[in-house]
Amino acid sequence: MAAASKGDEGVLIVRLGGFVKQMVCYGAARKKNMEYKNILLIKMSSLGDILHTLPFAAALRKRYPQAKITWLVHPQFAGFVPDPPVIDEVIYFDKVKFKKLGWSEKLQYFCEMRSLLHSKHFDLVIDMQGLFKSAVLAAISGCDNRIGYCEMREGSGLVSKAIGGSHSKDHVIERYLDVARYLGAKVDSLDDVEFPMPDLSKETTSVQGKLKEAGWQGGSYVVIVPGARWWTKEWPVEHYIELAKKITAGGTAVVLAGGPDDAVKGGKIAEGAASPLVLDMTGQTSLRELAALIKACSFYISADTGPLHFAAALKKPLVAMYGPTKADRTGPYGSKNSTVLLSPAKCAGCLKKKCDNWHCMHDITPEMVYKIYQEKVAEG
DSSP calls for 162-216: EEE-TTTTS-HHHHHHHHHHHTT----SGGG--------HHHHHHHHHHHHHHT-
- Rounded Cα distance between 136 and 114, Å, is 10
Mean pLDDT for 26-30 is 47
Q: Which helix (H) or strand (E) holds 312?
A: helix 306-313
Percent of the chain beyond pLDDT 90? 82
Kindly list the distances between the CA atom of residue 65 and the CA atoms of 56, 99, 176, 311, in Å, as whole numbers in the listed order: 14, 37, 19, 28
Mean pLDDT for 107-115 is 96
Residue 98 pLDDT greater than 60, yes or no: yes
- Rounded Cα distance between 380 and 375, Å, is 9
pLDDT-derived band at 100, boundaries 50, 70, 90: very high
pLDDT-derived band at 335, boundaries 50, 70, 90: confident
Q: What is the structure's pLDDT at 34?
A: 85
Q: Given strand 124-127, what is the order of strands in its sheet?
A: 2-6, 11-16, 19-25, 161-164, 146-148, 124-127, 38-42, 68-73, 89-92
Question: What residues contact 100, with CB distance under 8 A and at least 6 apart?
Answer: none
Pair type for strands 11-16 and 19-25: antiparallel
Mean pLDDT for 84-102 is 96
Residue 16 pLDDT greater than 80, yes or no: no
CA max distance for the chain: 67
- Rounded to the nearest integer, the mean pLDDT of the chain is 90
Is this prediction's pTM over 0.95? no
Percent of the chain beyond pLDDT 70? 91
- Rounded Cα distance between 309 and 143, Å, is 32
Q: Given strand 253-256, what is the order of strands in its sheet?
A: 278-280, 253-256, 221-225, 299-303, 318-322, 338-342
Q: What is the structure's pLDDT at 23?
A: 52
Mean pLDDT for 17-22 is 35
263-311 tens-digit pLDDT? 999 999 999 999 999 999 999 999 999 999 999 999 999 999 999 999 9
Q: Which residues of 191-210 are buried (b: 16+ CB within 10 A; e: fewer)?
A: eebbbbbeebeebbeebbee
Residue 13 pLDDT greater than 70, yes or no: no
Alpha helices in 5-100 (DSSP H): 47-63, 95-100
Residue 29 pLDDT greater than 90, yes or no: no
Tell me the three state secondary structure of residue 254: strand
119-137 tens-digit pLDDT? 999 999 999 999 999 999 9
Q: What is the structure's pLDDT at 22?
A: 44
User: Which is higher by pLDDT, 6 or 113?
Assistant: 113
Closest by Cα among 184, 230, 204 to 324: 230
Q: 310 with 292: CB under 8 angstroms?
A: no
Report which DSSP code applies to 32. S
